[in-house]
Chains A and B, each alone.
Chain A
């Protein structure tokens, strides 16, 4: 059982790390501000979610796991709000397409 959970952790954390890499590449390579914002907010939150899911079997106790999920939900909420605000600020400033 321990082995299966460890394999699950390795797969999920590796997938999460891949999405962080994808987010960074998108931030560096995409042509304009809105596409960069798109790459950043989606890929990062997915990566963090996969890392959290992967770490859940390694936690001792239900409360520790719930706290991890709480961190992820907090980041999701903040990131969704902030990406909308940044996109609106860019459009107001007139530098967007």
Chain B
């Protein structure tokens, strides 16, 4: 079982590494941010698999921290990209 969990962890990490290509080629900053989001979620999964494989319960705490930090990273990105006061500016057009 340990070997299978380690293999699954490595597989998930490899798919994330492929997804990180998106950071290089973009085409937009949003796409780069989404790639980082993917890295956050899949990194959590890889950590959980690794923790179960080697029997280290503390790894789950690490995964929780990563979950919170990934959310804050995306929030900071969105806040930095929006003009100040844009929330009050024009009502959204719901086409």
Chain A residues in contact with chain B, CB under 8 A? 6, 9-10, 13-14, 16-17, 20-21, 23-24, 27-28, 33, 36-37, 40-41, 44-45, 47-48, 51-52, 55, 58-59, 64, 67-68, 70-71, 74-75, 78-79, 81-82, 85-86, 88-90, 92-93, 95
Contact = CB atoms under 8 A, between A and B. Distances in A.
Interface in B5-30: 5, 8, 11-12, 15-16, 18-19, 21-22, 28, 30
Contacts of B81: 89, 93
A37 B57 CA distance: 32
A52 B48 contact: yes
B58 to A, nearest CB: 11
Q: How large is the interface on B (under 10, 10 to 19, 20 to 34, 35 or more residues)?
A: 35 or more
A52 B12 CA distance: 14
Taking chain B's interface residues, is the majority helix, strand, or loop, or is none over half, making it mixed?
Answer: helix
B3 to A, nearest CB: 11
Interface in B34-77: 34-35, 37-38, 41-42, 44-45, 48-49, 52, 57, 60, 63-64, 67-68, 70-71, 74-75, 77
Given A28-B18, A55-B48, A86-B33, A13 B42 contact: no
Contacts, number: 130
21 contacts: A16-B45, A17-B8, A17-B15, A20-B12, A24-B16, A27-B31, A44-B38, A44-B42, A47-B41, A48-B42, A48-B44, A51-B48, A55-B52, A58-B1, A67-B60, A71-B67, A78-B67, A82-B78, A88-B78, A89-B30, A93-B81
A51 B57 CA distance: 16
B11 A27 contact: no
